[in-house]
Chains A and B, each alone.
Chain A
Amino acid sequence: MASEEKRAEILKNLSEGVVEYDEDRVKEYSNIALDEKMDAYDAIMNGLAAGMEIVGDLYDRQEYFVPEILMCADALYAGLDILKPHLKIDDASGVKGQVVIGTVQGDVHDIGKNLIKMMFDVGGFTVHDLGRDVPLEKFAEEQLKTDSEIVALSAMMTTTMMGMKKVIAMIKEKNPDVAIMLGGAPVTKDVANLFGADGYAESAGNAVQEAIKMIGQLRKLKEDGVPA
């Protein structure tokens, strides 16, 4: 086990490596974490994910833009690739549920969607990524196939955003219990409500919190015997 001092040093370097999009540093300290027999979940959540939270804050303040976010994401994945295979099976605290994610038909913009996917990965979700420009009916098919609790839809353009309403209707018709989350530049909380979605993600970090909240509500409703 790593000493408290060593643990703090590793977490600091993982976090700073992500913020400063320094892939080599992240790789180096991910390997050190394993050499020091540090818990992989601890390194991911308190090192890599903590760094990404700072990145999200910098993005919100418009100090970081998309290029920086993408490079930070590369650094984070470089660490995840090393650490994730060492997660213990009983890291139940990290396993939140399953999510189907994709950018709706006609829309090839997937930067935002990929960031949300990354946050779900880090948050311990099993992610079924359908990619971009996804035919509307595919979301409902994949949800039924995987029995995912959440479907996350992304659109960058107002024109393609209108397709989300059709997807929600298709999914709810086949499985009214699934929680549907919307995100993307033209989407607002009002739009999500109007389309019949269960959640709205304003940002990548907010998406995961919203998803956890939605799953909690779904499970509670099921336990209480009330149709969700």
Chain B
Amino acid sequence: MGKQHVIDAVKGLATEKVPWVPYSGVHSAFLIGEPADKFLQDPDLIAKGVIYAAQRYKADGIPLLFDLTVEAISMGCNHKWWPDNPPSITGHPLENKSLAESGIKIPSSKDGRWPVIIEAGKMVRAALPDVALYGILCGPLTLASHLRGVRIFTDVYKNKAIAREIIDFCGQVGGEAARIYAEEIGCDVIAITDPVASLIKPKSFREFVTPAAQSAIKVTRKAGKVSSFFICGDATKCLEEVAMVGTDGFAIDEQLNLNYVRDIALKHQVGFGGNLKLTLAMSLGLVSPREDALISLAAGGSTGYVFAPGCDMPYDVPVEHIDQVIEAIEFYNTYYARYPHHMVEK
């Protein structure tokens, strides 16, 4: 399996074959016949599901979890568990309180959900030494929206000091999460995952998100691991900011044109990942998953490209659709990746 290919691609380097990273998330629970809520709270089940998913899908890399509520729940946010989804945050402790009044602290490796995740992570790490293990942490703006609610989006204009305090704090929480994933579990790639960061102006991204992301980036670099910034939605306007945030690479979802994304990544000499159509192809099969995969591969090339879904895979995404994607990547890597036009030096 191509762990080193993943690491090289995230760093923006050319690879002999395009690495494949299925973001299996709670789909790993489905694969072993367990509900998501039980799976996410049991280290043995997490390990069993992730190891099985990596092997079943011939993955070069795989996330330990794809659950952006780990940090918020570990800080005491009200939440609800689901049998077919990651948990959702139902209460926002900073909605009417300041950070100081709330008493919220940065969760350590002994707090909240972390002990279960660390135990599972160590098992997965030992079982999959040749697979790049991703540690997905909740990005600063998304975590701030968990803590503050929707008001954080207007705070970036109306209450800048409050917004900065909360988002910076969330960045520090992300720094500790990066340390846990990189140092305690041994993840190879740390992904700062901030889906809602595309909802603000590029200027606001630069003002609030970029500084807050530095803690996790610094910790990752210190641990000798690589980092990526995951963003969702139509991030066209802020993609330059994402490419310059300081991570080794970034990843986007199906709403962006991969040709545009590739050109931005090559310009900034960072890696990029995505963006299989999770809804139309992988989940519903309205578009052929095989053809969608080949289109992504043709656009992505093999310089700095990680072949992956646009976001985390739904719980019961049809396995046969993923099999079509795997056939496509094997076909591409056999016949095309060794002659990549993106690698030709001019």
**Which residues of A does B touch, CB under 8 Å?**
62, 65-68, 70-71, 74, 105-108, 110-111, 133, 157-162, 185-188, 190-191, 194
Contact = CB atoms under 8 A, between A and B. Distances in A.
B314 to A, nearest CB: 4
B214 interface: no
B280 A190 contact: yes
A190 B234 contact: no
26 contacts: A66-B199, A67-B153, A67-B199, A67-B201, A70-B150, A70-B153, A70-B154, A106-B82, A106-B84, A133-B80, A157-B85, A157-B311, A158-B279, A158-B283, A158-B311, A159-B84, A159-B85, A159-B86, A161-B279, A185-B232, A185-B233, A190-B280, A190-B286, A191-B279, A191-B280, A194-B286
Nearest to A159: B314
Contacts of A191: 279-280, 284, 286
Q: Report whether over half of chain B's contact residues are helix, strand or loop; otherwise say mixed.
A: loop
**Interface hub of A157, A160, A188 (most chain B Cβ within 10 A):** A157
Given A185-B233, A186-B279, 18 more contacts: A65-B200, A66-B153, A67-B156, A68-B201, A70-B153, A71-B157, A71-B158, A74-B154, A108-B89, A111-B153, A111-B199, A133-B90, A158-B278, A159-B84, A159-B314, A162-B283, A191-B279, A191-B280
B203 to A, nearest CB: 10
Contact of A107 (B88, B286, B316): B88
B253 to A, nearest CB: 9
A162 B30 CA distance: 15
Contacts of A133: 80, 88, 90
A7 B226 CA distance: 61
A106 B280 contact: no
B150 A110 contact: yes
Given A70-B154, A194-B284, A62 B236 contact: yes
Nearest to B237: A62
Contacts of A187: 279
Contacts of B330: none
B230 interface: no
A155 to B, nearest CB: 10
Given A67-B204, A110-B150, A188 B89 contact: no
Interface in B248-275: 255
Contact of A67 (B86, B157, B314, B315): B157
B217 to A, nearest CB: 24
A186 B335 CA distance: 33
Contacts of B95: none
A188 B255 CA distance: 11
Contacts of B88: 106-108, 133
